[in-house]
Amino acid sequence: MSAYYSVLPFTDANLHASISNPHCSAAEFQEKAKAKYLADYLAAVGARTIIIENEYVDADYLDDYSSFYAKCFIPYPKLCKRLHFFSSDISEADFSSRIGNRDSKNDQELNNAYLGFVVARPLPEAVIGRTILKTYPPDGGRRNYTCIKRYSANLFGIELVVESLAFQEQDTALAACATVSLWSAFHKTAEIFNCTAPTPVAITRAASELVSATRPIPSFGLEVHQICRAIRHVGLEPEVISMTKQLPLVSLLFGYVNMGVPVVLGCMVDGHGFHAMTIVGYSILPSRVRDSEVLQGPNMRLEGLRINEFYAHDDQTGPFSRLEIVYPSANPVQTTTFVPQAPISFIGSYKDPQQNRLGLFPFVAIVPIYNKIRLRFMDVSEWITRLNQVVSLVLNRTGTPEDRMEWQLRLVPSNSYKTRLRAGALPEASKVAVLSKPHPRFIWEATLLLDDKQVVQLLFDATAMQKSFPIYEVVWTKHSLHSDFAALLKEPALKVTLEKTLTNRFLEMLTCKL
Amino acid sequence: MVSLQFEGSTRRGNLVKNLSSGHDRDRPASVDADTLNAELSGKLEQLHQDLASLEEAKNVPQELMNLTFSF
């Protein structure tokens, strides 16, 4: 038996005991809602064995430790424990022999069974430190965890790999919910935009650098402008979206999250207060779950109508926690002076003392975005709204029910678009025409589908200015409605009205590509 | 499903332009271009309202910037 590691079968009791420390007993830990969530999560992904590294130096905790805990009177330890989870039964003798005998087949077996790890911090409250856990299975493509990346963990020389996004709970000393929400988001943005991923204490400091109404440390939370400041600190721009009745929030979140850009969502948890979490994935169904996603303004029949829930890193709950979408939004019990009017609300895992599930009411969405992505979801929506007038007319006149159409609106790197286009079903000549021309690095891809078949695709230069004409490519497909669009858009008697509807540039681009 | 056919207005000599591409259609719908024009024009006001509404959705109220997320 080694003093440096332990191997235990996965049970709730073993999990609680392994995470506990002298400042937080197993009994104290198991009382927390997060402990139950974590145990249930691990059981659901198939955990059977826990291997514990008894002395683990965690870089994030070390930064927190040197900034705060080392200066406390109580001697908090510098070292953490790291708990690794596996979906196979492993004995201590078996693991010991695997350490000493490098065998690629054995290492691969361990990797196949690897479910990730949890760093257990030696603190009284926020014991769940950096947590990298495998996601739930995709369930036939319904569940999509797009904001994950590849993490590797070296366990005594054995290289283990897991696809996930880092999670940790707030300690309210150096990081409140907004800080850890940003910390998770930066782990992914560092990969896609090549920016930095600072530690929680560095985020709190950066956020509070210029203006702070209260003392930054201990941290009691971040204001929206402080969240923005922290995002700028890593070299990104904060795109702040306030909630209005006409905001298609589900499709907007999807538009960014689908590319892997996590969105920080600020909500009011009914009866508790304002809470930030990070949206990291979504569940999409084959058919619509609602007829509209706005309470006012154009209903564009976007892809979001098929999304029934989002997945969030919520430090009050756990990683990849489920947010069911409620449309139209329920009414909050708690009243505030400033009440935004989001068309949707969420149901998460929060419950009142009577075990009734509490609503989460979105107040703000903040997207940490690359500074050259200047075109926003709502800017692109305006052009779609214009074209939708023509689409409606064609559908109406051809007796085609509008509910057979769907707009897909996604931010994508042009390289991934090109790879997809090349493998797609477009005629070769059309592919060559689109693929061989220069594209900006990031694009908004807007696709109109009728019965799941592409009618037209518009490519927007995401690096363009809002007031410019950002559409740089139109790809028409030889769909059954193609001739109808051609007839309408090319009809001389309609030219003036079409120009008023679409603008003359947009009309010209649509017709010249027909 | 029916296809669009444009029937020119009287001043253009009632010329029926069948713009169907010949795919499987049950019957063509004869549409007067002037009617269509009127229909599209009638939607312009709604379009302007929708665009204004989307523009309004981009505004960020100052109260929001000062909200603290701490729970």
Q: What pLDDT, on the 0 to 100 scale, is given for residue A450?
A: 94
pLDDT in tens, A7-64: 999 999 999 999 999 999 999 999 999 999 999 999 999 999 999 999 999 999 999 9
Residue B59 falls inside a structural domain: no
pTM value is: 0.92
Which residue is listed with tokens 């007319």?
A393
Q: Count up the domains in chain B and report the number.
A: 1
Contact A224 B64 (CB under 8 A): yes
Residue of B nearest to A277 (CA): B69
* pLDDT-above-70 percentage for chain B: 56
Residue B15 falls inside a structural domain: yes
**List of domains in chain A:** 5-164 (no CATH), 177-370 (3.90.70.10), 377-512 (no CATH)
Q: Which residues of chain A have pLDDT under 50?
A: none
Q: What pLDDT, on the 0 to 100 scale, is given for residue B12?
A: 37
Q: What pLDDT, on the 0 to 100 scale, is given for residue B22?
A: 37
The answer to whether residue B11 scores a pLDDT higher than 70 is no
A236 phi and psi angles, rounded to 5 deg = -110, 175
Instruction: Fill in the DSSP letter of residue B71.
Output: -
Cis peptide before A470 (omega within 30 of 0): no
Structure tokens at A291: 């007829």
Which domain covers residue B31, as residue numbers? Answer: 1-46
Q: What is the average per-residue pLDDT within B36-40?
A: 89
Q: What pLDDT, on the 0 to 100 scale, is given for residue B15?
A: 32
Q: What pLDDT, on the 0 to 100 scale, is given for residue A88?
A: 97
Q: What pLDDT, on the 0 to 100 scale, is given for residue B13?
A: 31
Q: What pLDDT, on the 0 to 100 scale, is given for residue B4?
A: 62
The answer to whether residue B10 scores a pLDDT higher than 50 is no
Q: What pLDDT, on the 0 to 100 scale, is given for residue B6?
A: 55
pLDDT in tens, A122-135: 999 899 999 999 99
Q: What pLDDT, on the 0 to 100 scale, is given for residue A3?
A: 85
Chain A nearest CA to B41, separation (Å): 6
Q: What pLDDT, on the 0 to 100 scale, is given for residue A333?
A: 76
**Which residues, in sequence order, are CB contacts of A33 under 8 Å at separation 6+?**
A316, A317, A349
Residue B18 falls inside a structural domain: yes
Chain A nearest CA to B25, separation (Å): 9
A92 phi and psi angles, rounded to 5 deg = -65, -40
| Interface confidence (ipTM) of the complex | 0.81
Q: What is the DSSP string of B17-58?
A: EE---SSS-SEEEEEEHHHHHHHHHHTHHHHHHHHHHHHHTT
Residue B61 falls inside a structural domain: no
Structure tokens at A443: 């694009």
Residue B66 falls inside a structural domain: no
Contacts with B21 from chain A: Cβ below 8 Å: 482-483, 486
Residue B26 falls inside a structural domain: yes
Residue B53 falls inside a structural domain: no
Which of A223, A301, A394 has the most B C-beta neighbours within 10 Å, making it the best mutation to test the interface with B? A223
Q: What pLDDT, on the 0 to 100 scale, is given for residue A297?
A: 84
Residue B56 falls inside a structural domain: no
Q: Do residues A180 and A315 lie in contact, with contact meaning Cβ atoms separated by under 8 Å?
A: yes
Instruction: Fill in the DSSP letter of residue A91.
Output: -
pLDDT in tens, A169-193: 988 777 789 999 999 999 999 999 9
From the list A358, A350, A338, the residue with the least C-alpha distance to B67 is A338
Structure tokens at A79: 């070292």
